[in-house]
């Protein structure tokens, strides 16, 4: 899993989120697929961080075994 520079440097600090929070959302959240005109493999995952606070993670599947975390809120 790769995390965008924007996510690492802006979104994660702004929302006091870390890698464990992202993993928690990806493991236990609800996946919503709303194909974007520019990226058919983009997904919104709504869930909770490890403290139980709501957190949404936007991911892009780059291939069968990899994903890219674009941003979160």
Q: Per-residue pLDDT tens for 18-59?
A: 999 999 999 999 998 766 666 678 899 999 999 999 999 999
Instruction: Indicate if the pLDDT at residue 13 is higher than 80.
Output: yes
pLDDT (mean) for 56-68 = 90
Query: Residue 63's pLDDT band (boundaries 50, 70, 90)?
Result: confident
- pLDDT for the residue numbered 56: 97
Dihedral, CA of residue 40, residue 41, residue 44 and residue 48, to nearest 10 = 180
**Residue 21 Cα distances to 12, 16, 64, angstroms:** 9, 9, 23
Which ranges of the chain would DSSP assign to H, the alpha helix?
5-6, 12-14, 19-28
Among 50, 61, 4, 1, which Cα is nearest to 25's?
A: 50
- pLDDT for the residue numbered 18: 96
């Amino acid at each position: 899993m790769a995390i965008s520079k924007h996510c690492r440097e802006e979104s994660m600090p702004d929302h006091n989120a870390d890698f464990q929070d992202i993993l928690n959302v990806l493991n236990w959240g609800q996946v919503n697929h709303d194909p974007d005109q520019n990226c058919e493999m983009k997904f919104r995952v709504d869930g909770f961080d490890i403290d139980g606070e709501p957190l949404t993670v936007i991911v892009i599947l780059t291939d069968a075994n990899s994903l890219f975390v674009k941003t979160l809120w």
